[in-house]
Structure 1
């Protein structure tokens, strides 16, 4: 199974989701993250995301931001988007229904259709990053439960 976590800049939410997911899946799974914009391409995750992950024993410090590419639709089985705008951007890159079916809102997997967006903690503080971490952990657990059924 190959899973791509996607947010806007690939420096906060999706790197955290990638890091969390990698601690929960078998080694034969491929987990990566990307953003819908290339503004932070090549950069490490936000220092607050790195610290939040480290507080939970997860090292995301070596990750590098990259934008979503057309090749991702061929490489990945599922692409989980952190919010509706990110979802719309990724779906707009899909060339057919098969590719569109690979794209999902991350929190819809948890069954939370009312609040299906993972808030972007970029403009917040460490508490916001911790809150996002907790949401992402819940979502990753739900994804794994669905995949490993």
Structure 2
């Protein structure tokens, strides 16, 4: 099974989500991340995302940002987005209902705030939200395989 995490720039939230979920799933799962903003393509995760991941023994240092494209619907079984703006952007590229069914907010009832303009406490809060969501997602995915 292949899972994609999506945020705006693919340098803060989705790299963390990718690293966290990877740490909770067996190796036969593929987890990747992308952003809806093209500007950051090829960049490493934000230093604060790297630091918070390292604090919890997760290494995301080899990740490189990339742009979400319509081709991702063919490649991935599940696509989790961080907020409603990402949801709108991703769904705008869906060609049919099958594509749309693959996409959901990572937190069912709330958005994951973008910590880019915050200090480390914002990244800690985002980490905790994504860690909790990843526990739930990992449990659900393992049951389906």
Question: TM-score if structure 2 supplies the norm length?
Answer: 0.97
Contiguous gaps of at least 5 residues in structure 2: none
**What secondary structure is seen at the aligned counterpart in 1 of 2:33?**
strand
Residue 80 of structure 1 deviates from its aligned partner by 0.1
Q: Which residue of 2 aligns with 1:52?
A: 52
Aligned to 1:64: 64
Tell me the number of residue pairs that the alignment of Structure 1 and Structure 2 aligns.
143
- The whole-number CA distance in structure 2 between the counterparts of 1:50 and 1:144 is 22
* Structure-1 residue corresponding to 2:73: 73
Alpha-carbon distance between aligned partners in 2 of 1:146 and 1:91, rounded to the nearest angstrom: 23
Using the size of structure 1 for normalisation, the TM-score is 0.94
Query: How far apart, in 1, do the equivalents of 2:9 and 2:99 lie?
Result: 22
Equivalent residue of 2:57, what SS? coil
Within a 5 Å distance, the mapping from 1:1-149 to structure 2 comes to: 1-108=1-108, 113=109, 116-149=110-143
Measured in 2, the distance between the counterparts of 1:70 and 1:76 equals 11
Let me know the Cα RMSD of the aligned residues: 0.6
Structure 2 residue matching 1:6: 3-state secondary structure: strand
Structure 1, residues 94-134: CA drift from partner, whole Å, max 9, x if none?
Answer: 000000000000001xxxx2xx1000000000010011000
Segments of structure 1 that go 5 or more residues without pairing to the other structure are none
2:139 and 2:61 map into 1 onto residues whose CA distance is 27
